[in-house]
Structure 1
């Protein structure tokens, strides 16, 4: 079986009056992500890790922030398209491990809902998606509540068809 690992990292500035989308759900908070799309850093980092694992470049290559069609787009659509690109190349998702760095608001109570939403979009089991949150103990741009960051590691594998095994 052909296994591949991908890694993603993303950052979005937080600003007053912006909507805060994270993990496919809207958070009730006075600050939100700044970006061309809905600025969902958690989904963006998953897209980057998946694309990287399949050697398909990155999210900016496929969904440019210079392209008006992606202005304000729901990042769940970007994730759905990313997974479709992966499957077109014959890959399936093994598992994902994602960490969000955010001082406030506390998102641990929202993680089960995020997992449900994201697993449905990717058409995978929630058991294959690990979401975690951490603060930076008030250090750096995350600690000063100026931004949010996220890291993701993914494992994908090439689907072997029965005909491939017979040759």
Structure 2
């Protein structure tokens, strides 16, 4: 078995949809970046790529490449899962944490879990999504950005 760790951070700003775990969440700000900036899915992708020894998202999907401008991070996860399958691995589990001050994400965690699982082609029980507040500290606590962490276990098929 192999373990991977993923981390992502994006600033919040006006004029963008807030997408987390592939789910659109009503909010006055969205995450800024080259793709849809879904920090949760980015962290999951980085964890899976890391477990495979394949670097990170920037190596495979550089922000300098215009074909990834505005892309759904779920499309990136689909491609990462293709790489995982080609290498002969399957997902044992994925555990994640979103760090965000606002909005309240509790009502959306199940939808995020199901969306990530469906995109990855695994059962929802293999995906865990948690949320923690920024506790009013630093950029996250001041609602300037969001962070996500992910850990995964992959096993040979």
Superposed pair shares fold, TM > 0.5: yes
1:35 Cα deviation (Å)? 0.6
**Mind listing any 5+ residue stretches in structure 2 that lack a counterpart?**
none
Segments of 4+ in structure 1 off by > 6 A?
Answer: none
Structure 2: distance between partners of 1:137 and 1:40: 21
Query: Which residue of 116, 121, 132 maps to 2:119?
Result: 121
Q: What's the counterpart of residue 53 of structure 1?
A: 51
**Equivalent runs, 1:112-151 vs 2, <5 Å:** 112-151=110-149
1:79 Cα deviation (Å)? 0.3
**Equivalent runs, 1:78-93 vs 2, <5 Å:** 78-93=76-91
1:136 Cα deviation (Å)? 1.9
Q: What's the counterpart of residue 14 of structure 2?
A: 16
Query: Which residue of 2, 5, 10 maps to 1:4?
Result: 2
Residue 68 (str. 1) matches residue 74 (str. 2): no
1:25 Cα deviation (Å)? 1.0
Deviation by residue 1:36-59 (Cα, 9 ceiling, x = unmatched): 000000000000000000001110
Structure 2: distance between partners of 1:4 and 1:48: 14
Q: What's the counterpart of residue 28 of structure 1?
A: 26
Q: What's the counterpart of residue 156 of structure 1?
A: 154
Paired positions, count? 157
Flag the structure with larger Rg: 1
TM-score normalised by L of structure 1: 0.93
Report the secondary structure of 1:145's partner residue. Answer: coil
**Mind listing any 5+ residue stretches in structure 1 that lack a counterpart?**
160-167
1:78 Cα deviation (Å)? 0.3
1:94 Cα deviation (Å)? 0.3
**Equivalent runs, 1:91-106 vs 2, <5 Å:** 91-106=89-104
RMSD: 0.6
Structure 2: distance between partners of 1:46 and 1:154: 8
